[in-house]
Amino acid sequence: MKALCYISNFDDNLKKYDIDDLIQFVNLKNKQEGITGVLLIRNKYFFQILEGEEAQIDRLYSKIKKDTRHQGLLKILDKKIEGRIFSAYNSGQFKIIDRYSDAKKLVTYFNWIKNADYLEADELISLTNNFLKYNS
């Protein structure tokens, strides 16, 4: 298993309907591929955490790097994990977070994980909390 996290900027030409299409596509494709995680969309930034089998994540990230809907892609975490961190979040389905209420649910989930002392998640929780802190 592998977890990968990146941040990128929206392309200047990206419109609301492009994001809506992206959300539908990402949800469907990640479900088919068995990929869990979250995509946060805030202030013209994408912040994404992907988790799944290593080959699948590497293949997906190669596609993401070529996607013209964003620029300034920066991988901030790429590591092997023992088990999925998001298996219990959103019924194990990939989640798009583009509303404040969804972000609050994610923070609640992270607090639950921290109380369970799942140390593997600490780095991802910290990265996500920093992203939300500076993009509220």
- Would the pLDDT of 119 be above 60? no
Q: What is the pLDDT of residue 106?
A: 79
DSSP E strands: which ranges in 45-131? Answer: 45-52, 70-80, 95-97
Q: What is the pLDDT of residue 116?
A: 61
Q: How confident is the model at residue 62 (pLDDT cuts 50, 70, 90)?
A: very high
pLDDT in tens, 17-26: 888 888 888 8
- Whole-angstrom Cα distance, residue 48 to residue 26? 11
- Would the pLDDT of 84 be above 60? yes
Average pLDDT over residues 11-31: 85
Q: How confident is the model at residue 126 (pLDDT cuts 50, 70, 90)?
A: confident
